[in-house]
Amino acid sequence: MLPKLNGVIVPHRKNTAAMPAVKMPAPKSVTIPMNMHIGAPSVPCVKVGDEVKVGQLIAEAGGFVSAPVHASVSGKVTAVGPMLASNGSQVTAITIESDGEMTVSETCVAPAISDYDSFIAAVRASGAVGLGGAGFPTAVKLDVKDTSRIQEVVINGAECEPYITADTRTMIDDADLVKEGVELLKKYLNVQKVVIGIEKNKPEAIAKMNELAREDSTISVKALPSVYPQGGEKVLIYNCVGKIVPEGKLPIDVGVVVMNCTTLTFLAKYAKTGVPLTEKMMTVDGSAVANPQNVIVPIGTSMQDVFDFCGGFKAEPKKLLYGGPMMGIAVPDSTAPILKNTNAILALAAKDAVLPEPTPCIRCGKCIDTCPLKLMPVEYARALATGDMELLEKRKVNLCMECGCCSFVCPARRPLVENNKLAKAELRKYQAEKNGGNK
- pLDDT tops 80 at residue 417: yes
pLDDT band at 1 (very low <50, low <70, confident <90, very high): low
Q: How confident is the model at residue 438 (pLDDT cuts 50, 70, 90)?
A: low
With a cut of 90, say whether residue 132 has pLDDT above it: no
Contact 285, 16 (CB under 8 A): yes
CA 183 to chain centre: 23
Long-range CB contacts (within 8 A, 24+) of 275-279: 275/54, 275/55, 275/104, 275/108, 276/55, 276/68, 276/70, 276/108, 276/125, 276/126, 276/127, 277/70, 277/126, 277/127, 277/128, 277/129, 277/340, 278/54, 278/55, 278/70, 278/71, 278/72, 279/72
21 pLDDT higher than 60: yes
Residue 294 CB partners (closer than 8 Å, separation 6+)? 16, 19, 20, 21, 22, 165, 166, 169, 281, 282, 283, 284
Q: With contact defined as beta carbons under 8 Å apart, do 24 and 309 qualify?
A: yes
Report the pLDDT averaged over residues 20-48.
Answer: 96
Read off the pTM: 0.94
Average pLDDT, the chain: 94
At 175 the pLDDT is: 97
Q: What angle do CA 227, 228, 232 make, to 5 degrees?
A: 120
**Cβ 145 vs Cβ 116: under 8 Å:** no
Is residue 439 over pLDDT 70? no
**What is the domain partition of the chain in residue ranges?**
24-104+278-352, 116-273, 366-434
- Secondary-structure class of domain 24-104+278-352 per CATH: alpha beta
Give domain 116-273's CATH number out of 3.30.70.60, 3.40.50.11540, 3.40.50.11930, 3.40.50.2000. Answer: 3.40.50.11540
Q: Read off the pLDDT of residues 143-186 as tens digits, 9 standing for 90 and up.
A: 998 999 999 999 999 999 999 999 999 999 999 999 999 999 99
Residues 197-245 have pLDDT tens digits of: 999 999 999 999 999 999 999 999 999 999 999 999 999 999 999 999 9
Average pLDDT of the segment spanning 272-289? 97
* Residue 88: predicted pLDDT: 78
SS (H, E, C) 280-331: EEEEEECCCECCCEEEEEECCCEHHHHHHHCCCECCCCCEEEECCCCCCEEE
